[in-house]
Amino acid sequence: MARDFEAERVNLRHWDEVAPVHGQAYDTSALLSGGHRLDPVQVAELGDIRGKRLLHLQCHIGTDTLALARLGASVTGVDFSGRSLEIARDLSARTGLPARFVESPLFDLQGVLDETFDIVYTSIGVLCWISDIDMWGRLVARYLAPGGTFYIMESHPFMNVFDDEADGLRVRNAYFPSGPVEWPADFPDYADGSYLTKNPMLEFQWPLSRIAGALIDAGLSIRFLHEFDFIHWKALPAMVCGEDGMWRLPEALAGIPLLFSLKAEKP
């Protein structure tokens, strides 16, 4: 599949629209009081990032970027939504956490950012906006210095097969890609359900083999690929929240992957 410029235009309108909604709805209290809300699995899997030059792809309003800065990395966040980055810069000033934010569509980044990093990071809700997964893999590799590592934690593509409005597990969508799927406007925003979005979105589905394959084909070596039976939000109606704040399917439905993480290295 080739880069889809129309999907990018449609999706940019959506993200610029919801950025201020998320600026209000995201919980930034931990960041503002000296902590962070990056989940412990990511923190452990990333390892020691102190002093590392880190590039965060699709950083949105910068909450995770600034959490990574709090963990000691020297951070650069990239996003195509200027309104998201206004909030990110404001949050950087209010927390006193230094960060550089670059406004650019991912696939135009090479025109504005010419350096490499020790770590390229991206997480949660990012791959469904990527229209060409092979181009994405090459972009990740382009920004890694030799010996640098790429880390991603993302919702598991297999979970997307199930109807997110059905009580049990009902198959609704294809696992393999078949072009972008349109989510209409008037849809409750994920961070503030009382806000109905005005702009539609176009989302892409990438199977795990295509995600890992894009990185392998770009010359990276996969260090680990982990799958989890929990996720950070109520992605399917049957999910219940555990004491750790993670959502899981009840025992009768459990047994499908909901989240994955992957670490790869540039030789």
Residue 200 in the binding site for ligand SAM (CB under 6 A) = no
Residue 220: name the closest of 121, 154, 150, 152 by CA. Answer: 150
Residue 105: name the closest of 76, 127, 128, 81 by CA. Answer: 81
- CB-based contact 181:205 (threshold 8 Å): yes
End-to-end CA gap in the chain = 27
Residue 234: name the closest of 203, 175, 191, 180 by CA. Answer: 191
> CB atoms < 10 A from the CB of 31, how many?
24
Residue 49: name the closest of 263, 206, 267, 248 by CA. Answer: 263
If the CB atoms of residues 74 and 123 are measured against ligand SAM, the closer one turns out to be: 123
Site stretch for ligand SAM (CB under 6 A), options 8-16, 45-53, 206-214, 245-253: 8-16
If the CB atoms of residues 124 and 258 are measured against ligand SAM, the closer one turns out to be: 124
At residue 190, the 3 state secondary structure works out as: coil
Nearest distance, CB of residue 171 and ligand SAM, angstroms? 24
If the CB atoms of residues 170 and 198 are measured against ligand SAM, the closer one turns out to be: 198
- Both tokens assigned to 154: 């993302």
Nearest distance, CB of residue 105 and ligand SAM, angstroms? 4
Among 67, 88, 126, 211, binds ligand SAM (CB under 6 A): 126
Site stretch for ligand SAM (CB under 6 A), options 90-98, 120-128, 155-163, 224-232: 120-128
- CB-based contact 238:159 (threshold 8 Å): no
- CB-based contact 36:67 (threshold 8 Å): yes
How many chain residues are in contact with ligand SAM, going by CB under 6 A?
18
Among 76, 95, 123, 261, binds ligand SAM (CB under 6 A): 123
The binding track of 78-117 with respect to ligand SAM, each residue x by CB under 6 A or -, is -xxx--x--------------------xx-----------
Say how far apart CA 62 and CA 56 lie, in whole Å.
9
Residue 42 in the binding site for ligand SAM (CB under 6 A) = no
Residue 61: name the closest of 108, 119, 103 by CA. Answer: 103
Residue 77 in the binding site for ligand SAM (CB under 6 A) = no
Residue 205 in the binding site for ligand SAM (CB under 6 A) = no
Residue 154 in the binding site for ligand SAM (CB under 6 A) = no
Q: Which residue is nearest to ligand SAM (CB)?
A: 125
The phi-psi region of residue 186 (left if phi > 0; otherwise alpha if psi is between -120 and 50; otherwise beta) is left
If the CB atoms of residues 122 and 149 are measured against ligand SAM, the closer one turns out to be: 122
Nearest distance, CB of residue 207 and ligand SAM, angstroms? 19
Q: What is the DSSP letter of 159?
A: G
Say how far apart CA 222 and CA 165 lie, in whole Å.
35
Residue 63 in the binding site for ligand SAM (CB under 6 A) = yes
Among 82, 125, 207, 213, binds ligand SAM (CB under 6 A): 125
Give me the residues that bind ligand SAM (CB under 6 A), please. 8, 11, 15, 58, 60, 63-64, 79-81, 84, 105-106, 123-126, 129
